Amino acid sequence: MLTNQVIKSVIEGILLITRRELSVLEHEGSIIASTEAQTPDVLAESVTGFMAGPAESQSAHGYQFFKVSDAGYAEFVVAIKGEDEETFRIGKLAAFQIQNLLVAYKERHDKDNFIKNLLLDNLLLVDIYSRAKKLRIDRNVRRIVYLVEITGDKDWSLVEIIRNLFPSKGKDFVAAIDEHHIVLVRELKPTDTFEEIEQAAQEVRDTLNSETLIPAKIAIGKEVSDIKNVSQSYKEAKMALEVAKIFEPDMEIINYEKLGIGRLIYQLPVSLCKMFVTEVLHGMTVNNFDSETLQTVERFFECHLNVSETSRQLYIHRNTLIYRLDKIQKITGLDLRRFEDAIIFKITLMVSKYMEYKEL
C-alpha cells in the first residue's frame, strides 16, 4: 500500500529540484503530506469543491490542483503553490508521478496476496495460472522458498531488509507469515548452483544479525520449476525447521535436502516409533541409560566408530571406552563397533528424540 511517508518523500524530492511547495490531500480535504510549514485552510475548502466536479485540474486561491486517479476514481489531489505555466507543468508531473506509484504499489499488493494464497494452498490450479498471467508472473522458472525464523519479538523492518537484499524488479517475494517467521520466494537464475542457494541463505542470516542483532534460522525448501509447486517448497521449508529443532537444534542454515534420515523419522507415526524402540531396547527406553554413556556413544558416532580417536577426544583410556561399549552390548545385544548395530542404535536414539518432541 502506498504510504504517507512515501508520498512525502516524493514531494520533498520535487521541492528540492523545482523549489515549488506542494501538498497532497485526500478527497475530503485532509492533508496527507506537505512541504509547507503551515498550509492555509483554503486548501481543504478548495479540494472539497474540486473533487465534486468533473475537471482534472483547476486554479484557485494562488494554488493549482490536480487529481490523482486510479481505475477512474480520484484517490488524491496534488496542490502546488503558484499559478504560472511552469507551476502547472510541475504540478502535472507531480500528479503523474504519484499516480504511477499508486498503480505500482497496488500491483505489488496484488502480487503479495497472490503469493500468500499460493503458499497456503488457497487457489485452484486454473486460478493459479490465470492470475499469474494477469500479474505478469512467469510460470515456468526456477524458484525456491526460504523460511526465516526469528527468535524473540520481530521488527517489521526485517521484511524490508531482506527485500533489499534481492531487488530483482518484483521477481522475488518477501512477507511476514506471523510474529516469528518471514518467507522469501526467490526466483533463481539458470546458472545458480546448490552452493549459491545456500550462500544466499547465509547472506540473509549474516545481514539480519549484523544490522539488527536478532538471531535467525533459515530453512530452505526444494527447488521447483512450476509456480503451482511453490507451496510444496514452502511446506518442505516448514518441515525442515521442525526436523532441525529435534535432531540439529544448533543448525542455523537448514536445507530440506540435507536432513537425511531425520526427515523420514519425522513422518513416522508415534505408535510405530514406540514399537521399534521397545523391540531394540527390550522394553527399556533411552532414559534408562545414564548421560555419560549416551555422551560416549554420540562421540563414538562422531568419530566414525574409531575407538582410539573417541578415547582420545573423551580423555579416557581405550579400555574404559571398550568397557562402556561392552556394557551397552550386554543390555541391548548391539555391538556398536559393528556398522549394522551402530546404525540401529543411532536410529533408536533419533526416534527417541522424536517421541520426546511429540510428547511436549
Per-residue model confidence (pLDDT) at position 243? 95
Going by pLDDT thresholds of 50, 70 and 90, the confidence category of residue 107 is: low
Residue 105 CA to residue 120 CA, distance in Å, equals 23
Percentage, residues of the chain above pLDDT 70: 95
Per-residue model confidence (pLDDT) at position 198? 93
Length of the chain counted residue by residue: 360
Per-residue model confidence (pLDDT) at position 154? 60
Mean pLDDT of 58-70: 86
Is 109's pLDDT higher than 80?
A: no
Residue 191 or 154, more confident: 191
**Could you tell me if 163 and 173 are in contact, meaning their C-beta atoms sit under 8 angstroms apart?**
no
Same fold, 4-105 and 138-263: no
Instruction: Enter the DSSP assignment of 227.
Output: G
**Could you tell me if 107 and 113 are in contact, meaning their C-beta atoms sit under 8 angstroms apart?**
no
The architecture in CATH of the region 268-359 reads Orthogonal Bundle (1.10)
**Could you tell me if 23 and 43 are in contact, meaning their C-beta atoms sit under 8 angstroms apart?**
yes
Task: List Cα–Cα distances, 172 to 111, 175, 190, 261, in angstroms.
Answer: 10, 10, 15, 31
- 4-105, CATH topology level: Beta-Lactamase (3.30.450)
**Could you tell me if 296 and 318 are in contact, meaning their C-beta atoms sit under 8 angstroms apart?**
no
The class of domain 138-263 in CATH terms is: alpha beta
Residue 111 CA to residue 115 CA, distance in Å, equals 6
Per-residue model confidence (pLDDT) at position 168? 65
Is 103's pLDDT higher than 80?
A: no
Kind plus residue range of the DSSP H or E element containing 116: helix 85-119
Closest CA to 1 of 111, 120, 156, 81: 111
CA angle in degrees (0–180, nearest 5) for 165-119-212: 30
Going by pLDDT thresholds of 50, 70 and 90, the confidence category of residue 76 is: confident
Percentage, residues of the chain above pLDDT 90: 45
Mean pLDDT of 77-102: 89
CA angle in degrees (0–180, nearest 5) for 326-330-332: 110
pLDDT of 132-143, one tens digit each?
887 788 889 999
For the chain, the domains span: 4-105, 138-263, 268-359
Per-residue model confidence (pLDDT) at position 130? 85
Residue 197 CA to residue 184 CA, distance in Å, equals 12
